[in-house]
Chains A and B, each alone.
Chain A
Amino acid sequence: MTLELNETLQNVVDGLSEKFTDSLIDVYQSSGDTFIRIAPQVNVNVCQYLKKEHHFIYLADVFGTDRFTSEDRFELVYNLVSMRDQQRIFVKAWLPEENPEIESVTGIWESANWFERQTYDMFGIRFTNHPDMRRIYMPEDFEYFPMRKEFPLLGIPGSIDLPSTTPDTE
């Protein structure tokens, strides 16, 4: 597939393939957006580089997807925006099903804090060096990760407690 990159994004891709030759796995475009897949070990370095050298100072979102494949089941996506150049780029990393873990980017963008907590809450992807790695939506003692494909839509019956309807007789 041929890439139709404008000047800014071409610079980004060139810079990345020069600096992270071995870790840059894939570059592709879809629906007018540019996606870059990297090895999960270098996510912090790549993000640092994109912020410092290419002015992607705004982390719009971090989210996961469950690809439901036997290998590299989970995908982590960073949605980066450069206000100055009016460009958006998606950085992806694939993670294994067993013990999905990746380093946190909260040191680069403070906003990653809650995004990563939500990704942990929904997919069970753990972020190392995160300042506050707790669930953000579900109760703390909840045992499942609801956005994983094997989780039933209506939940596991009895997995979350309802309040007591006879509080005086506890």
Chain B
Amino acid sequence: MGLESALGDGYMTSKVDSLVNWARSNAAWPMPMGLACCAIEMMAFAGPKYDASRFGSEVMRFSPRQSDVMIVAGWVNYKMAHAIRRIWDQMPDPKWCIAMGACASTGGMHRCYGVVQGCDNFLPVDAYVSGCPPRPDALLHALMKIQDKIRTEHSVMLDT
């Protein structure tokens, strides 16, 4: 069929790190945290036109236990921050976070008493996406940046 016929009786070598990173980076399942209008663009990102499944990220699970990337899409108020942090804490390691749009990154135009001025006040954000709302391509770009980050990580540690 595929690789095995090309290899014949031979074999190939690799590192566990690269194998695990390859698997992880191509199956980064998002935890959609849709809070405002950015969530509409996030749906387009998962839909057939922009097609996040090309990157293995089409599985929007709505379950923190089965997710790897949290996409915070929209403005975060102080009451919601506690729920988001709780969901984030329920996600199994390793996990990554995308702050999608101006509001999730900095508070955006919601410069007022009820809105957290950037979700990095309580979450470790890996990628920020600019735009209001960002186009789905921009979110795909953030996802690709996360993939790059995963691929350069040391995923397996020697336990000595």
What is the interface of chain A, defined by CB distance below 8 A to chain B? 137-139, 146, 151-156, 160-165, 167
Contact = CB atoms under 8 A, between A and B. Distances in A.
A155 B112 contact: yes
B112 A163 contact: no
A139 B122 contact: no
Contacts of A139: 78-79
A166 to B, nearest CB: 10
Contact of A164 (B85, B113, B114): B85
A162 to B, nearest CB: 5
Given A153-B111, A155-B112, A162-B78, 10 more contacts: A138-B114, A139-B78, A151-B113, A153-B112, A153-B113, A155-B113, A162-B81, A163-B82, A163-B86, A167-B89
A167 B111 CA distance: 28
B85 A163 contact: yes
B63 interface: no
Contacts of B111: 153-154
Contacts of A161: 78
Interface in B124-152: none
A137 B112 CA distance: 14
A154 B93 CA distance: 35
A137 B114 contact: yes
A163 B81 contact: yes
Contact of B78 (A154, A156, A160, A165): A160
B155 interface: no
Contacts of B86: 163
Nearest to B117: A154
B116 interface: yes
Given A139-B78, A139-B79, A160-B78, A165 B113 contact: no
Interface in B25-73: none
Name, among B79, B81, B113, the residue most crowded by chain A CB atoms within 10 Å (CB to CB). Answer: B113
Nearest to B79: A139
A102 B56 CA distance: 59
B122 A154 contact: no
Contacts of B114: 137-138, 146, 155
Nearest to B78: A160
Top 4 A-B pairs, shortest CB-CB distance: A155-B113, A163-B85, A160-B78, A163-B82
Contacts of B121: 162
17 contacts: A137-B114, A138-B114, A146-B113, A151-B113, A153-B111, A153-B113, A154-B111, A155-B113, A161-B78, A162-B78, A162-B81, A163-B81, A163-B82, A163-B84, A163-B85, A163-B86, A167-B85
Given A139-B78, A139-B79, A163 B122 contact: yes
A154 B113 contact: yes
Nearest to B84: A163
Contacts of B85: 163-165, 167
